[in-house]
Amino acid sequence: MSRFTSRIGIEADPSEVFAWHTMPGSLERLMPPWERMRVAHRSGDFAKGLEVTLDIKKGPFSTKWIAEIVEFALGQSFKDIQKQGPLKSWSHGHRFTLEDKNFCMLEDDIEYELPCGKAGDIFAGSWADNSLARLFRFRHDRTRNDILRHIRYHRYGQKRIAVTGASGLIGSNLVNFLRGGGHIVHPLVRRTPKPDSGEIFWNPQKGEIDLSALEGMDAVLHLAGDNIASAKWTPAKKESIRSSRVDGTRFLSDSLAKLKTPPSLLIAASATGYYGNRGEDICDEESGPGDTFLSEVARQWEAAVSPAAEAGIRTINLRFGAVMTAAGGVLGRMLTPFQMGVGGKMGDGRQYLSWIALEDLISAFYFLLLKDKKLFGPANAVSPNPVTNAELTRTLGRMVNRPTLMTMPASVVKSLFGEMGQALMLDGVRVAPKRLQAAGFKFMDGDLQMALSRDLGLIQGF
């Protein structure tokens, strides 16, 4: 039997820290981004007897982990055990102790047995210890940051929020974060809503939406849109990219404008592709659009919120940079080849990447949703520290401790990926978050190395 213990102090009352663990979405927030792991099912409310099923994938292999809460002391502790999974046994105790006024010590105490007995300990014991240390560096950092962000905004009260694109990379993390803070989230879905799920039906292609279910929302967060990096840009793909953003946004905006009690806020996703390929020029919200395909899509996309704005709804076009998380997007695609030692720069590496850590993007939504009441129109959601492709390559190489000697020439990028490769890998834009910072927003992970360390479970001090 092996044992692992990890502790973290959180500047909050133990009851608040315990309560966060019981909220919908909180367990999902603790899934490590570098692993392919998801919560597939839970049997009921958070209490003794609750069973949770995780789906875990490793390369071509998949397995299920079923855990059950076997001990539960409200506000103090709970313990879960493995009922089915890859280990011979697993017992995980969580304790919440008041150390000082409004200061909680969270302790995770784990006893586990690897499969294959002594042979498992010999060949995988060190790997298991290191993996647990990395996992709990991430989990404790995520736990503390989520709880402190929610405490900071408690005074603004609970909100009812509708979200499109809620199953996507950004949307799913945002929904789980909001639910962890006690907000009521209503995902818009294109299938029949599940009973008692809070889901709202819509089908923008057919012009169908459940308007009555949208009445009285505090805000709508609009993230839906076809993945621009999922395939080469054929004419059909380009039309899908355009219509999913422009037509979908216009339909949603028209629908919100018809409500008797419309939301006070609509935050609609946009992108820094609005600025086109600008080399080393620094762009802010006063800079004009570029002349690329993505620029024209973004221009139309942002204009499509006009019906909502004209109806008196405060609208914000949040221009995302490249969202950094190992769970997907730019970093998710780069991570495996870099870990294999075959990562490297694209083209000459001098093109700028305007990026944002996923957690800072979530914080920006929260800030605009709850605290800021004045900003409207375009706002750049990017780190104040854009990097070149060469800088990104060097930084990620250091983080995974691998060489980055490979280079993919521009001619190869264009040959393999066509117009998409030119736009997403070779074009560059250097964007400043002028309006967000002027409104008082503070970045947690404005530095690339810090952002990667946090997301990859490599942050120091835990």
Residue 398 belongs to domain with CATH number: 3.40.50.720
Same-domain check for residues 142 and 172 = no
- In this predicted model, what pLDDT tens digit does every residue of 220-267 receive, in sequence order? 999 999 999 988 999 999 999 999 999 999 999 999 999 999 999 999
Query: What percent of the chain shows pLDDT beyond 90?
Result: 93
Helix (H, G, I), strand (E, B) or coil at 204: coil
Mean pLDDT of 262-273: 98
In a domain, 462, yes or no: no
The pLDDT value recorded for residue 207 is: 96
Q: Quote the DSSP letter at residue 422.
A: I
Query: pLDDT for 142-177, tens place per residue?
Result: 999 999 999 999 999 999 999 999 999 999 999 999
pLDDT digits (tens, 9 = 90+) for 173-227: 999 999 999 999 999 999 999 998 999 999 999 999 999 999 999 999 999 999 9
Is the backbone of residue 104 left (phi > 0), alpha (psi -120 to 50) or beta? beta
- Average pLDDT over every residue of 347-355: 97
121: pLDDT strictly greater than 80: no
Residues 123 and 105 in one domain: yes
Best CA proximity match to 367, nearest among 439, 313, 262, 447: 439
Tell whether 186 and 111 lie within a shared domain: no
Q: Which domain holds residue 356?
A: 154-455
In a domain, 29, yes or no: yes
Q: Give the model's confidence band at 291: pLDDT under 50 very low, under 70 low, under 90 confident, else very high.
A: very high
Residues 402 and 254 in one domain: yes
Residues across the chain: 462
| CA 235 – CA 255 distance, rounded (Å) | 29
Domain shared by 76 and 203, yes or no: no
Domain count of the fold of the chain: 2
- Could you tell me which residues come within 8 angstroms of residue 346 by beta carbon, excluding any fewer than 6 positions away? 389, 407, 408, 410, 413, 425, 426
Q: In whole angstroms, give the CA distance from residue 253 to residue 174.
A: 21
Predicted local distance difference test score (pLDDT) of residue 462 = 53
pLDDT band at 61 (very low <50, low <70, confident <90, very high): confident
Pairing of the two strands 184-189 and 387-388: unpaired
What is the CB-side half-sphere exposure of residue 23 using CA atoms within 13 A?
25
Strand ranges across the sheet with 377-381: 208-209, 200-203, 184-189, 160-164, 219-222, 265-271, 314-320, 377-381
CATH number at residue 7: 3.30.530.20
Are residues 165 and 133 located together in one domain of the fold?
no
Residue 460 lies in a domain: no
Q: Are residues 129 and 158 in the same domain?
A: no
The sign one gets for the Cα dihedral 6, 169, 275, 428 is: positive
Distance CA 124, CA 61 (A): 18
Q: How is residue 102 annotated by DSSP?
A: T
Say if 256 falls within a structural domain: yes
Same domain, 203 and 137: no
* Rounded-to-integer distance, Cα 322 and Cα 306, Å: 26
Q: What is the pLDDT of residues 399-412, one digit of tens each?
A: 999 999 999 999 99
Q: Inform me whether the pLDDT recorded for 351 exceeds 80.
A: yes
What is this structure's pTM? 0.96
- The answer to the question of residue 192 being in a domain is yes
Residue 202 within a domain: yes
Residues 131 and 178 in one domain: no
152, 168, 199 - which closes a domain: 152
Where do we find the tokens 């910072």? 437
Residues 373-379, mean pLDDT to the nearest whole number: 97
DSSP letter assigned to residue 141:
H
